[in-house]
Structure 1
């Protein structure tokens, strides 16, 4: 089987940090194929890292090893873990909330704490600020290359003790759907909600309907408008706001060839509420 290691960080690409992680992996086994998920997670944004893993992982084969390093607690007593998911993939990461969406939507079979006495880059000195290179990339490569078995990562930990961030479930009540903004489609400024398509079906919303959409932040309304519910952007005019189903089968809000998030200063997280209902004829 091909050896895949997929890296995600908030490091950016303006210095040598990511290249160093590549080098560590290749030093373990030159045949390992190293890929980038993204290195443009917003600095310290654990929620965003958690979501990007969920967004991406299901499209990779079994046995792929993911490394996610968004680690504002590096050097503290937070744990470093490797989890095996229900889809037989692995994630090497700090236990700081990065596994939130994977645990909820994919599922975790087993958790092991990284034994840093064994799984640490030799001659990495006393540095405690670059675990992405010295521990995570090194452990991921050893696991992917078969240098160590999963059981040799370190001691088991109860899956229920994994650190998770607060999530909010979308729901429907009397024809009104309530959800929150999970993430932004950053480059295009589209707003991705946690409202599953099945809720829109349950509410009997049809393509072509005009729907009344309200967005609030800390329970204060910041946007209200009637949006057309469409299959694709081509069904609206340039600059027109719209509601559509995104690539994760969730409701999303956009401006046709514009950034909705920038236009209305929209952020992400459970403090950003989204309410959808049919327009009264």
Structure 2
């Protein structure tokens, strides 16, 4: 029987041997284990970005996959090191610091256990407290995936209700009107909003509709224009704006073959309000 795959992400970057150490740790536990990466370019210390990335990645790996997510500003402190069993059968090995926020909402956590470091921490680096990605999370994930330990042997269970979660910003929705914010930008400069695809449709918006978009920076209006709600970028001319359903479950505004963020000189450190009105 094939052993579960281990899939990793972190904010370690790709210009050092840190990631290789995590892969190597898994092979030390079991040379047959298969390991893959999501990304190691999560912005440094950005726990919410790690959580957001997991929620659209996890559903597209087989049930039983063991995910390792290490964005851990509190490494070596009293924050819990955990393994969550998701309701789809996969596992996430991670600091319980908010990383599980989106997964808890989107997929659901069936059970969570705190890693027993007396058993499931690599013993040869016991005096190192700043590389739990290698010495604790990768090591424990490998023991779980290889069958050395069962989920119950990870450590003691604690209530799912105690999982640390960030507050998720929600959109205000009414018939033909959505008041939302720009949550983040994807690698192409498209603006990901805080309104979910399904919520947008519940407000009465349909593919092919024209949508009035008002973009605000506090009280200052930056943009007031009408753009189409379409399936994808190619339904508008190059450089033109379009609204579409994003792969991460949130409505997104983009400029076809252009960077929406740069086009309107938006500051990624600012929070912009967006009103979407059905024409």
Name the TM tier (shorter chain): over 0.9
Match in the other structure for 1:141: 142
Instruction: Identify the residue that residue 240 of structure 1 maps to in structure 2.
Output: 240
Give 1:40 shift.
0.7
| 3-state SS of paired residue (1:118) | coil
> What SS is found at the alignment partner of 1:198?
helix
* Contact 1:25/1:137 (<8 A) preserved: yes
Tell me, in whole angstroms, the C-alpha distance in 2 between the residues paired with 1:219 and 1:121.
54
Task: Say which is worse superposed, 106-115 or 253-262, in terms of deviation.
Answer: 253-262
| 1:138-217 paired onto structure 2 within 5 Å | 138-186=139-187, 188-217=188-217
Describe the shift of the 1:36–1:217 C-alpha distance in structure 2 as closer, same or farther (beyond 3 A): farther
Deviation at 1:262, TM superposition (A): 3.1
- Give the stretch that moved more between structures: 207-216 or 65-74: 207-216
Distance in structure 1 (CA, Å) of the matches to 2:48 and 2:104 = 13
Segments of 5+ residues of structure 1 without an aligned counterpart are: none
1:99 pairs with 2:100: yes
CA apart distance, 1:185: 1.8
Distance 2:275 2:157 in 1: 42
Instruction: Report the alpha carbon displacement of residue 272 of structure 1 after superposing the two structures with TM.
Output: 4.2
- Cα 1:153–1:217 shift into 2, 3 Å: farther
CA shift digits 1:43-83 (9 cap, x unpaired):
11101000000010001111110000001111211110101
Match of 1:9 in 2: 10
Number of equivalent positions: 277
CA distance in structure 2 between the aligned counterparts of 1:206 and 1:250, rounded to whole angstroms: 15
CA contact (8 A) 1:25 1:32 kept: yes
Q: TM-score, normalised by structure 1?
A: 0.92
Q: CA deviation at 1:274?
A: 2.8
Find runs of 4+ consecutive structure 1 residues off by over 6 angstroms.
none
Cα pair 1:3 1:31 within 8 Å, conserved: no
Distance in 2 between the 1:220 and 1:78 partners?
A: 41
What is the rounded CA distance, in whole Å, between the counterparts of 1:147 and 1:10 in structure 2?
A: 28
196-205 vs 240-249, which moves further: 196-205
* C-alpha separation in 2, matches of 1:250 and 1:229: 13
Alpha-carbon deviation of 1:168? 2.0
Q: Secondary structure of the residue that 1:6 maps to in structure 2?
A: strand
8 A contact 1:182–1:268 mirrored in 2: no
For residues 19-34 of structure 1, what are the structure 2 equivalents within 5 Å?
A: 19-34=20-35
- 3-state SS of paired residue (1:123): helix
Cα distance in 2 for residues equivalent to 1:149 and 1:272: 46
Kept after mapping to 1: 8 A contact 2:3/2:145: no
**Deviation of the 1:268 alpha carbon:** 7.7
When the two chains are superposed, the root-mean-square deviation of aligned CA atoms in Å is 1.9
TM-score between the two structures when normalised by the length of structure 2: 0.92
Q: CA deviation at 1:206?
A: 3.2
Unaligned runs of 5+ in 2: none
For the residues of structure 1 that align with 2:222 and 2:125, how far apart are their CA atoms? 49
Decide whether the 8 Å contact of 1:79 with 1:95 is kept in 2.
yes
- Counterpart CA distance in 2 for 1:82 and 1:227 is 44
